[in-house]
Amino acid sequence: MTRYSDDLIEEIKTSNDIVDVISQYVILKRSGRNFFGLCPFHKEKSPSFSVSPDKQIFHCFGCGVGGNVIHFVSKIENLDFKDTLELLANRANIELPTLSNFEDDKKEALKAKVYEINEVTAKFYHENLYKPTSKEAQEYIKKRKLDNKTLTSFMIGYSGKFDELYQLLKSKGFKEEEILASSLVNKAENGKYIDRFRRRLMFPIKDIRGRVIAFGGRVLDDSKPKYINSPENIVYSKGKNLFGLNIAKKGDTKKIIIVEGYMDAISLYQRGITNVVASLRNSSY
Ligand SMILES: [Zn+2]
């Protein structure tokens, strides 16, 4: 079953001020920064139930209950988490996605698998880079003077031959539908599978949360196209992402430098300029 996203839960919380909500059940009086009232969860004559508008939490000094607005409503209305969210969303006029939508569930499950495939693939390419059979890639890296810290920070890798990735993914138990949804493997008309990226230097593209969402691959000889990228798919849309953003966001983000290609961003990073990202729109060919 799908669950509501963290972002949505946060939105529901911030749209329901805890003092407003609790005031519907308890008479509150302000005292300093906080509000006090008679605890609805135990019998008492003098108020030991406090609500903090700053922290958006409640706490009873008598019986020890406490929490945020969701906890309060859940407890006083005797509702489970899901029903509490529905009540609060309704109160704040927030529309909730339907939980029973089977197609949505299937899509979310497929997305999760594609993220997993991307992670496995990035690791496979990265480890492949260090193998004796990857001389071509190692020489390129030496020429571009990329050090080990840079290679691991960006998880730079080297893709295999023919259907090596496909075989690996199969052996890990991924289904055909999942592998094809990742766009990392193509199915030819004759029914054979072939890896999209072969013998290319590989740059995993991560979203701001650090999940691998796509790859860019550079040839190491003069063949064309020089770069190919993952096409848009269930987890990847070009316009919404920037290469290196997951790394750049860790540093000074008041100014961000946007460069054209992966290697531009990576070279600058190695020289200590870490607030740099590459656009994913122009680097295809
Ligand atoms: Zn109490």
Q: What is the pTM of this model?
A: 0.63
In a domain, 62, yes or no: yes
Q: What is the CA radius of gyration of the chain?
A: 26
Return d(Cα 5, Cα 16) in angstroms, integer. Answer: 17
pLDDT tens for the 285 residues of the chain, in order = 457 888 899 999 999 999 999 999 999 999 999 999 999 999 999 999 999 999 999 999 999 999 999 999 999 999 999 899 999 999 999 988 765 666 777 888 999 999 999 999 999 999 999 999 999 999 999 998 999 999 999 999 999 889 999 999 999 999 999 999 999 999 988 989 999 999 999 999 998 788 999 999 999 988 888 888 898 898 988 777 788 888 887 777 778 888 888 888 898 888 888 888 888 754 443
Residue by residue, DSSP assigns 121-173 as HHHHHHHHHTSGGGHHHHHHHHHTT--HHHHHHTT-EE--STTHHHHHHHHTT
Residue 43 CA, ligand 1 centroid: distance in Å: 7
Determine, yes or no, domain membership for 204: yes
Q: Which of 177, 281, 189 is nearest to 229 (CA)?
A: 281
Q: For residue 139, which phi and psi values (nearest 5 degrees)?
A: -65, -40
202 touches 156 (CB < 8 A): yes
Q: How far is the CA of 64 from the centre of ligand 1 (A)?
A: 6
Residues 117 and 204 in one domain: yes
Which residue spans within the chain are E strands per DSSP? Answer: 29-31, 34-37, 49-52, 57-60, 66-67, 157-158, 185-187, 193-195, 201-206, 212-218, 227-229, 242-243, 257-259, 276-279
- Same domain for 127 and 11, yes or no, is no
Residue 1 in domain? no
Structural domain of 107: 102-279
Cβ atoms within 10 Å, residue 60:
20
Measured over the CA atoms of residue 69, residue 72, residue 78 and residue 81, the dihedral's sign is positive
- Do 153 and 273 lie in one domain? The reply is yes
Q: Which residues crowd ion ligand 1, with CB under 5 Å?
A: 39, 41-42, 60, 62-63
Domain C-terminal end among 65, 91, 117:
91
Residues 84 and 211 in one domain: no
Q: How far is the CA of 141 from the centre of ligand 1 (A)?
A: 65
Whether residue 249 is contained in a domain is answered as yes
Mark whether 108 and 156 lie in a shared domain: yes
Task: Find the 48 Cα to ligand 1 centroid distance in Å.
Answer: 7
